Amino acid sequence: MEPKILKSESNLERVLSNGHFAVTVEIGPPMDCNAEIVLEKARLLKGLADAFNITDNQTGVVRLSSIASAVLIISEGLEPVMQMTCRDRNRLAIQSDILGAAALGIRNCLCIVGDHQSFGAAGKMKGHPGAKNVYDIDSIQLVSALKGMRDEGVQQGGDSLEKRPPFFIGAAWTPLGDPIEIRPLRLKKKIEAGADFIQTQGVFDIGEFKKQMKIIVDMGLHECTAILAGIIVPKNLGMLKYMNSSVAGVSIPESLIKRMEQARLKAGDDKKQAKKNQAEEGIRITVELIKQVQEIPGIRGVHIQAIEWEHRVPEILRRAGLIPRPVFPKKGG
């Protein structure tokens, strides 16, 4: 394959531009300053994916910062995708953090608007629902600001940069979010703004996702960006049902819920066994979903989110046939 001119110094970009099916995995930082937790997850997952997303105070809960966590996993030899939300920082803080992240060796940034602070982990934690939010710019404007810094060498305000941050720029996409007819248009805007790659909201309803992807392919958008399908690992029936009813843009087919129900029922009164059965079924579903999205035209990778279940990811990737990952010699610096 012709060597392409890369936009960044990202391994993820290299994997994609060489035509490989990419794999990213999410790592959730802890709610305290325990670096060891991040490092442990990093050691567990090293070499199993092309890059690792570090969430940024996800669901409005304070966690070890995504920049710091990203640097921690770099020290273990992993490549991070730093997530950057617009909820907590204005355009000054965002750009300053982007420059800082680049200086520290971070090469991928996922630009997202961020869950509203009222989330507090969907009521499971206290969070900070009384916080003042920022939302100075939105995710699309953030993508474009980052692209401006990288490609034009200008800050959003117009001042110039001498050394430009060499980021591979990502954005999120909720393919099945409401109102559904606006979602392709919104993806188009993210691409126009400068998104090099897209990680989607978790997909369970393959049929509906295929339909939406057909629209995307007909629009030719899959050629302008690399779309990685989001895969959320379901741990049990409760989680599936919760996501189905409460997580925007996620709808779970009845058949999957039934399967999980069956897995639980099979254990009878044995609670431990029920948990085990559901976990196994969840992993089976995950592996199937990965294989199914792999077949969908326009999909160039998967983004796996195993929330506080990172230790099950190696098994999932192995069963899905996604390891080993391609390795490239590090070019330049």
Instruction: State in angstroms the smallest separation of the CB of 214 from another protein.
Output: 20
Nearer to another protein, 31 or 247 (CB): 247
Instruction: State in angstroms the smallest separation of the CB of 181 from another protein.
Output: 8
Instruction: Answer for the pair 24, 92: CB distance below 8 angstroms, yes or no.
Output: no
What is the rounded CA–CA span in Å between residue 21 and residue 34?
33
Nearer to another protein, 177 or 253 (CB): 177
Instruction: State in angstroms the smallest separation of the CB of 202 from another protein.
Output: 11
Nearer to another protein, 47 or 129 (CB): 129
Nearer to another protein, 90 or 262 (CB): 90
Q: How many CB atoms lie within 10 A of CB 124?
A: 10
Q: Is 158 left (phi over 0), alpha (psi -120 to 50) or beta?
A: left
Nearer to another protein, 57 or 174 (CB): 174
DSSP codes joined into one string, 278-301: HHHHHHHHHHHHHHHHHTSTTEEE
Instruction: Answer for the pair 64, 71: CB distance below 8 angstroms, yes or no.
Output: no
Instruction: State in angstroms the smallest separation of the CB of 253 from another protein.
Output: 17
Instruction: State in angstroms the smallest separation of the CB of 201 from another protein.
Output: 6
- Point out which residues pair with 25 in neighbouring strands: 52, 304
Nearer to another protein, 190 or 222 (CB): 190
Nearer to another protein, 182 or 327 (CB): 182
Instruction: State in angstroms the smallest separation of the CB of 141 from another protein.
Output: 5
Q: Is 105 left (phi over 0), alpha (psi -120 to 50) or beta?
A: left
Residues that bind another protein (CB under 8 A): 86-87, 91, 113-116, 118-119, 133, 135-141, 144-145, 156, 172-174, 177-179, 181-182, 185-186, 188-189, 192-193, 201, 248-249
What is the rounded CA–CA span in Å between residue 63 and residue 73?
15
Instruction: State in angstroms the smallest separation of the CB of 246 from another protein.
Output: 8
> H or E stretch including 318?
helix 313-319
Instruction: Answer for the pair 317, 323: CB distance below 8 angstroms, yes or no.
Output: yes
57's tokens: 């105070």
